[in-house]
Every structure is written in C-alpha cells, then in structure tokens.
Amino acid sequence: MLESRELIVRLLGDEMKAFFICLYMLALPGLNVKVLAGSAKTRVLTARGTVFNDLDRDGVMNSVEPGIEAVLVSNGLDIVQTKKDGSYEIELGQTGTLFVIKPSGYMTAIGKNNLPHFYYLHSEKGGTSKIYSGLDPTGPLPERINFPLYPEPINEKFTVLLFGDPQTKTQTHVDYLSRDLVDELVGVEGVAFGVSLGDIVDDDLSLFGSVNQVIARIGVPWYNVIGNHDMNYDVPNDEQANQTFEANYGPSTYSFNYGKVHFIILDDIVYKGYNPTPSGYVGGFTHRQLKFIENDLKYVSKDTLVVLMMHIPLFLEDWSDQSFRVADRQALFDLLAPFPHTFSISAHTHIQRQVFFGEEDGWHGKEKHYHFNSGTACGSWWSGEPDEFGLPHTTMRDGTPNGYAFLRFDGNQFVIDFKAARRSEDFQMSVYAPRAVRSGEYPTGRLYVNFFMGNERTEVMSRIDFEREWKPMRKTKWMDPYMNLLTARYDTAQHALPGPRLSPPSYCYHLWMQTVPTNLPVGLHSVDIKVIDMWGREFNSSTSFRME
C-alpha cells in the first residue's frame, strides 16, 4: 500500500535488480523512494552440522559415531564451540568458507595428494575468474555440514617441514622441485606435517595440481599458505582474488592445534584490485582477518606457543617502506602481546633473515617477537648454471643455498634446522678467504663467514693455526663475496652461460667478517670457524690461505 506516494524498497536477494528498480522509481513524479539503511547486506544463511569421531573412517557420520564436544568451528570471522553432542550452528553468506579448528589429539580428513580436508566451501554462483578455474557453483547450502575427526596421540614433541616459495613457473620447474628437494625427502621419518609458505606457483595457477602431486610423494599431510603469485589477478577486488587457491587448498586464513602449539595460517597479501588492469598488492590484513584472530585467540591458553605462518614478512623490506601496512602489523602485535610465547614465519624475499621485534617496532610483549623469514625452495627463482644433473644451483641473493627447514617443537619451545638441498646436514655456512696474501703488506684481505641461520643472537669465532684463543668475528651487513663471484661470471664469460642468469646479490643479514693478518710466516695457514647459534648449538667449519 502506498501512503503519501511513498515506496519503501528493501534490498534483499538480488541487489543489482533492486538498485535499478530504485532508479526507475526515482524517475516517477511525486514518488518518494526510501532505501532502508543496512538492508543491503548479503543474504545470511545458517550452517548446521556435527563434528564427529569417524570410527569407520569413511567420512560420513552414522548413528553409532559420537559427536565431539567443545570443538571450534569458524566461518573465517566468527567462532562457535560444538555442544555436548558435537553439533554447531553458525552464520554463513551466499559465498563463504566453513572450517573446523583442529584440536590437539585429533586429525582431520586427509584428501587427495595428502592435503588436509577440514573445510566446506560454499559458493552458490561459483567463481568469477575467467582465466583459471575457481570455485564451482555449490547450489543451496546443505542441510548438514559434518566434519569428521580422527583421534591420535597428543605428542608435544613433533617436527614440521617448511618449504618457502617453491615458485614453479613451468613444468620444468616442477621437475626441478621434485629432483632437487622432494627426492631426498620421500619417506622422511618423524615429520608430523609440512607447510609451503606461499608462491607455490609463479602466476600459472594451472600448475597447482602438478606441484601437489610432487609434494605428496614426501608422504606427510601438507598445508599451504597463499602467496602473491598464487592469486587470481583478473578479478575486481581482494575478496575474489583467492578463489583458485581456495578451490585447491581450502581457506586462506584459518588455524589448528598440534601438541602445545596453536598455528594460525594467514593470507597477508592485500590485492589492490583490477581497474582496468591489476593494481598490485601490499602486505597486510583485512579487518575480517584481524577479527578472526581476535576471536581465535580467546580460546588459546597463555602457556601455548602461538605460531603464525604467512607469505610476506612483517618487517619492511630494504627496497620499500610500503611493503607491509604498519597499522595492520600493529593491530596484530596488539592481539599477540598478552601471549608470552609467540613466533611468526614468512618467505617471499628469496633471502633468509631473522628479525626480533621490540618496543621500537610497536611490539609490547614481555619478550621480543621472533620472526623467521625463511629461505626458498626455488632459491633464486630456479636460475643459475646447471650442474651435472641438469639442476640449477639457484643460490639465493644473500648467498644462502636453496633448501628447506625443520621446525622441531617440544612443548611451547622450538628450534629450527636449515637443510640445503642435496647437501649434507652439516653444511650450515660458507667460508670465504683469499687464496693467498703477501707477507708484510697492509692487511686488506677479509675472511667472511655466511652462517645461513645466523642472527643477532649468534656468536661467530675464528682461530688461525689452532690457536688456543678463539677470536670473535664482527657481524656486518654486506653482500656475500661468494655470491659476487658467481654473478660476476655472467659479465666476464666470453660467451653466454647456460641457464637463466642469477639475480644480483643483495645484503646478507647473517654475514661475519675478520681481517686476514699479514704478519704470519710464509706458508699455508689453517683457519677454524666456530659458531654458537641462538639455541646454544655449536657448528664448525674450516678453510686455509697461503702467505707469500
């Protein structure tokens, strides 16, 4: 009924259709059109289901399989706890993700290629990317969305395997990944699960399946973080940029528990949109993500270690003071500050670096916040001269070899072990010294030690000719001289070298230096190196030089 020639339009369901109705009505003389404020939100649905103990391991709940109480279920923003019978109820939009937050003592279903399946993707109309397949239309929301869990022993000592940036651009790169890293890891023992820290591929999202098949050979459950090269860039906004990733791996922001550790996986790439071409990205978080973290941490005890895994590092990179939105980092730090045990991990930079955030960075926790910027599986983007096996040495820009890391947890404590691809476990540093120096001349020769897992809490010492006293070396921020030699080959060779050219060297954040003395007797002199890492472990290496 119209009173005073007024029409009230409620924007429900198809918002665009209602919008054009409004425009038409506004053109009618003497007709007042009111759009009710706040009524233009996406239609809200209610998801219901049960988290249950899947006794027969078929993924389907039957009448004898009990529900599990007090398990957390999330829509990526809100979090609810299952009731005594394992049931839950939570809101979900027309497009959204629903997932269970795995509790310690349980494992979720493991799908094809050892990918954990702990989620339900809902998209009534399907994805919008025109280049790569995204989410298929799911149709109406199912009446019940049940999540199976499988009991397992709670082990507070466990190991996680980390790959930074596999970054495969071609099927040849997928083959490199398989032969250079995965071959030596097939059947690895004592690893609870693995994680790729983003940039699984290099913009060709059709390679997700090939990479998944290769990494599945390792034989452990494998989680994945989204990277800036894993996104759909032909879509209008950040909300739609993850659709192909999510179709393959599930939500891009979620959490789970293992032992005494709470893991939070974060999409920290904010896509600036397509207008009329892709506008790039910046490191940061959305309000929705920060609210999810806030809600999530309400259920985490203070004696738990909180580990955040993301792609873009939280620090500002040398080349840009805009690489990460500082306000977003501050909001994250404020949420984490009450927790005495925190640790964050990233990749993205194709170097290896460790940062300790303190008061000057906006961190207000009792202890500094430790951030590990992991080196990459692809090293320097699978570049460099090939070896006798046809594999590029692909050394990273800071002189760190490509490889992977093991996170070894014990309760809420941990250590990190770096492993260079196809090298022995004790290859933890490169030592550079001049081959020969002239006796009596002014000492300008330098001894350098690049300890790949070094940081400000690392001690590096040297001694010459088995001296009793070890002398401390000075930490310096400079280019690795070995990397300088590698890249100089491209300019001094008479003909183009095989393989893609290495990227130019960058600053190394784990380099130590010492002047080589020239007052020693003529002849060969040995140099011993001793390193004590931040966990008190000792590593050794040696080299020599000749005095003439």
Q: Are 476 and 446 in contact (CB under 8 A)?
A: no
Compute, in degrees rounded to 10, the torsion defined by CA atoms 427, 429, 435, 439: -130
Residues contacting 475, CB < 8 A, separation 6+? 454, 456, 458, 460, 511, 512, 513
Output the pLDDT for position 129. 80
Output the pLDDT for position 274. 77
- Number of H helices and E strands in the chain, helices first, is 7, 33
Burial class of residue 347, CB neighbours in 10 A (0-12, 13-18, 19+)? buried
Output the pLDDT for position 321. 60
454: left (phi over 0), alpha (psi -120 to 50) or beta: beta
Give the number of other CB atoms < 10 A from CB of residue 190: 11
**Whole-structure pTM over 0.85, yes or no?**
yes
* 429-547 has CATH 2.60.40.10 classification: yes
CATH topology of domain 147-420: Purple Acid Phosphatase; chain A, domain 2 (3.60.21)
| Cα angle 297-302-303, degrees, rounded to a multiple of 5 | 130
Q: Are 83 and 89 in contact (CB under 8 A)?
A: no
Residues in the chain with pLDDT values less than 70: 1-42, 276-278, 318-322
Amino acid in the structure at residue 155: N
Classify 63 as helix, strand or coil: coil
Locate the domains of the chain by residue range.
6-35, 147-420, 429-547
Output the pLDDT for position 426. 95
Give the number of other CB atoms < 10 A from CB of residue 205: 24
How far is it, in rounded angstroms, from Cα 55 to Cα 347?
39
Amino acid in the structure at residue 331: A
How far is it, in rounded angstroms, from Cα 456 to Cα 536?
13
Classify 89 as helix, strand or coil: strand
How far is it, in rounded angstroms, from Cα 131 to Cα 245?
13
In 3D, which of 528, 328, 354, 343 has the Cα closest to residue 454?
354
How far is it, in rounded angstroms, from Cα 51 to Cα 108?
10
Output the pLDDT for position 24. 46
Q: Are 257 and 302 in contact (CB under 8 A)?
A: no
Q: Which residues on adjacent β-strands are paired with residue 137?
A: none
